[in-house]
């Protein structure tokens, strides 16, 4: 792997021919990469090693196996043993903004990679003006339980982001089709997703949170009737989706420290934040403690508030308070740029105007009032603390809007809203022009795509790369096109 200084970023390639060759080659190599990252052992499949939670002086190297399998991480001649589950080893005393080669020797004699090494980069020093890139994408789910992940599109997007020197990836939900009433099926979908992303995750952190599809459900009933509630029944209690999601991934653990109420799940590793260089990154869980109408829906049944659980897009009080405190700390620490990531759009543009944070569809008046009041509190908080961009998914297309005026409310300064739900789910071209913020939208596209953001000191640029219109999923027909580009998002124009 060629080592590059983060201050001297390589030129992004937009050549159809060269990118096509890269993509075809990546698909030839993917089976071999996956063999190195998801390997059959005597006790089942070994996942990893993966890299997560990178700072300027540390990184977490982790793996999973059905039966406990210890090992030692070897970095720059230093050995770091780990023989205690869950096998999440923090390697410290590293130098800032530097590449590190590593491999793992497992106790059963296996070595990963089989030959050579993986390479990850530590972050720049806190507050550093050194340039870096990160990628954002969302909604890689398949179309049914038996097809939980659109593997081909997800792999192509992640591989391209890696080829463009993204130092990490942010992924805001709907990894899988989900909606399972069985723990094993839910875990199986998340593990399939990791196997698809493995050849990126062993060198580049992928920070994830939950979407409305990334849940397990069971039937519950309150005074108004039956509905579907987060989690599955297990050992006399409820095992929640949040608990399983946190077990399957490794994210920061600095989110809200208490559930919203005793019956609710923890926020651990689904809502969190971290710093990288001169920027602050915040992930919030807009599908926390999910509650929704039974499926199939009864005729005339509206979306509503529930005795237990939380409708999608509704940010509860505890998480809102944590978000405000977190943004205040980031500003006090002198972070120049703040980015927020969540699944449900604050200002949906099309297919999810009936829910998300708007509920312009068949919902009770009390839910509409509640959700819109919470959205106002949320967006006002973003403006007060100078958040530059709020990234969302859920709608399966791309849109970029500068949300200042929004009907009867105006926010100053405005905040960029980027909806990037094009990582594999069935695309939608629905764009509703009657919405109060419709004229605030600067770009819209119905394409499989991802966002590449470059932070270079005070300047932040955006490039959006997409697969061809009408792409058929065949790798040999793949090439990437630049469909949107902004030289400096901080100009807010």
Contact 196, 149 (CB under 8 A): yes
Q: How far apart are CA 435 and CA 360, in angstroms?
A: 9
Q: What is the mean pLDDT of residues 304-331?
A: 97
Residues whose CB is less than 8 angstroms from the CB of residue 207 and which lie 6 or more positions away in sequence, other chains included: 52, 168, 169, 170, 171, 251, 274, 281, 283, 341
Contact 12, 164 (CB under 8 A): yes
Residue 199: DSSP 8-state: H
C-beta atoms surrounding 163 within 10 Å: 17
Q: What is the mean pLDDT of residues 331-342?
A: 98
Task: Give the pLDDT of residue 395.
Answer: 97
Q: What is the mean pLDDT of residues 156-183?
A: 97
The string of DSSP codes covering 225-264 is EEEEEESEEETTEEE-HHHHHHHHS-----S-SS-SSTTS
Is pLDDT of 249 > 90? Answer: yes
Enumerate the domain spans of the chain.
36-121, 132-491
Q: Could you confirm whether domain 36-121 is CATH 2.40.50.140?
A: no
Q: At 471, is the pLDDT very low, low, confident or very high (cuts 50, 70, 90)? A: confident
Q: How far apart are CA 431 and CA 345, in angstroms?
A: 14
Residue with tokens 């237990």: 308
Beta strand extents in 240-349 (DSSP E only):
272-276, 279-283, 291-292, 337-341
Which sign, positive or negative, has the C-alpha torsion 359, 360, 362, 366?
Answer: positive
Terminal alpha carbon distance of the chain = 38
Contact 179, 143 (CB under 8 A): no
Task: Give the pLDDT of residue 366.
Answer: 96
Q: What is the mean pLDDT of residues 185-189?
A: 97
| 36-121 and 132-491 have identical folds | no
Q: How far apart are CA 50 and CA 52, in angstroms?
A: 7
CA distances from 111 to 116, 118, 242 (A): 10, 12, 32
Structure tokens at 255: 């989110």
Q: What is the mean pLDDT of residues 24-30?
A: 41
Q: At 289, is the pLDDT very low, low, confident or very high (cuts 50, 70, 90)? A: very high
Q: At 8, is the pLDDT very low, low, confident or very high (cuts 50, 70, 90)? A: very low
Q: How far apart are CA 305 and CA 289, in angstroms?
A: 12
Q: What is the mean pLDDT of residues 153-174?
A: 97
Task: Give the pLDDT of residue 334.
Answer: 96
Question: With pLDDT > 90 as the criterion, what percentage of the chain qualifies?
Answer: 85
pLDDT, tens digit (0-9, with 9 covering 90-100), for 400-435: 999 998 888 899 999 999 999 999 999 999 999 999
pLDDT, tens digit (0-9, with 9 covering 90-100), for 234-245: 999 999 999 999
Q: What is the mean pLDDT of residues 32-43?
A: 45
Q: At 493, is the pLDDT very low, low, confident or very high (cuts 50, 70, 90)? A: confident
Q: How far apart are CA 349 and CA 345, in angstroms?
A: 9
Task: Give the pLDDT of residue 314.
Answer: 98
Average pLDDT, the chain: 91
Residue with tokens 């919470």: 374
Contact 30, 155 (CB under 8 A): yes
CATH fold for the domain made of 132-491: Purple Acid Phosphatase; chain A, domain 2 (3.60.21)
Q: Are strands 132-137 and 168-172 parallel, antiparallel or unpaired?
A: parallel
Nearest one of 396, 390, 354, 359 to 374, comparing CA atoms: 359
Which sign, positive or negative, has the C-alpha torsion 383, 389, 394, 399?
Answer: positive
Task: Give the pLDDT of residue 12.
Answer: 56
Identify the H or E element spanning 287.
none
Nearest one of 423, 415, 429, 407 to 360, comparing CA atoms: 407
Structure tokens at 446: 């119905």
Q: How far apart are CA 89 and CA 60, in angstroms?
A: 5
């Amino acid at each position: 792997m060629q080592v590059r200084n983060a201050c001297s970023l390589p030129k992004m390639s937009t050549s159809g021919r060269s990118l096509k060759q890269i993509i075809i080659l990546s698909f030839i190599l993917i089976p071999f990469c996956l063999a190195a990252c998801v390997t059959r052992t005597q006790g089942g499949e070994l996942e990893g090693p993966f890299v997560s939670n990178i700072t300027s002086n540390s990184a977490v190297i982790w793996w999973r196996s059905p039966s406990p399998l210890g090992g030692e991480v070897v970095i720059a001649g230093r050995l770091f043993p780990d023989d205690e589950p869950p096998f999440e080893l923090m390697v410290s005393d590293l130098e800032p903004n530097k590449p590190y080669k590593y491999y793992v020797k497992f106790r059963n004699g296996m070595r990963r990679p089989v030959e050579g090494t993986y390479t990850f980069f530590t972050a720049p020093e806190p507050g550093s003006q050194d340039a870096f890139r990160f990628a954002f994408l969302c909604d890689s789910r398949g179309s049914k339980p038996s097809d939980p992940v659109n593997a081909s599109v997800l792999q192509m997007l992640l591989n391209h982001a890696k080829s463009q020197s993204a130092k990490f990836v942010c992924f805001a939900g709907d990894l899988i089709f989900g909606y399972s009433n069985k723990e094993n099926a839910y875990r199986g979908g998340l593990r399939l997703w990791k196997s698809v992303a493995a050849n990126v995750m062993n060198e580049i952190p992928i920070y994830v949170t939950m979407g409305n599809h990334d849940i397990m459900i069971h039937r519950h009933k309150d005074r108004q009737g039956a509905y579907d509630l987060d989690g599955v029944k297990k050992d006399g209690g409820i095992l929640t989706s949040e608990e399983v999601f946190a077990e399957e991934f490794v994210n920061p653990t600095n989110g809200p420290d208490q559930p919203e109420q005793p019956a609710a799940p923890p926020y651990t590793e689904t809502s969190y934040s971290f710093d990288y260089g001169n920027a602050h990154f915040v992930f919030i869980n807009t599908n926390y403690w999910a509650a929704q109408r039974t499926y199939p829906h009864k005729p005339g049944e509206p979306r509503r508030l529930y005795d237990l659980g939380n409708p999608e897009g509704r940010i509860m009080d505890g998480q809102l308070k944590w978000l405000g405190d977190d943004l205040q700390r980031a500003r006090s620490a002198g972070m120049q740029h703040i980015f927020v990531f969540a699944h449900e759009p604050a200002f949906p543009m099309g297919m999810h105007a009936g829910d998300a944070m708007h509920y312009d569809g068949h919902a009770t008046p009390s839910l509409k009032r509640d959700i819109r009041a919470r959205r106002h509190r949320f967006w006002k908080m973003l403006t007060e603390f100078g958040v530059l961009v709020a990234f969302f998914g859920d709608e399966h297309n791309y849109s970029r809007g500068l949300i200042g005026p929004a009907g009867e409310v105006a926010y100053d300064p405005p905040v960029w809203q980027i909806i990037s739900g094009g990582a594999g789910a069935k695309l939608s071209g629905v764009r509703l022009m009657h919405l109060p913020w419709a004229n605030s939208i600067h770009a819209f596209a119905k394409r499989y795509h991802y966002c590449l953001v470059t932070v270079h000191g005070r300047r932040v640029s955006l490039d959006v790369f997409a697969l061809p219109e009408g792409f058929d999923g065949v790798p040999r027909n793949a090439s990437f096109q630049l469909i949107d580009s902004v030289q400096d998002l901080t100009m807010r124009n």
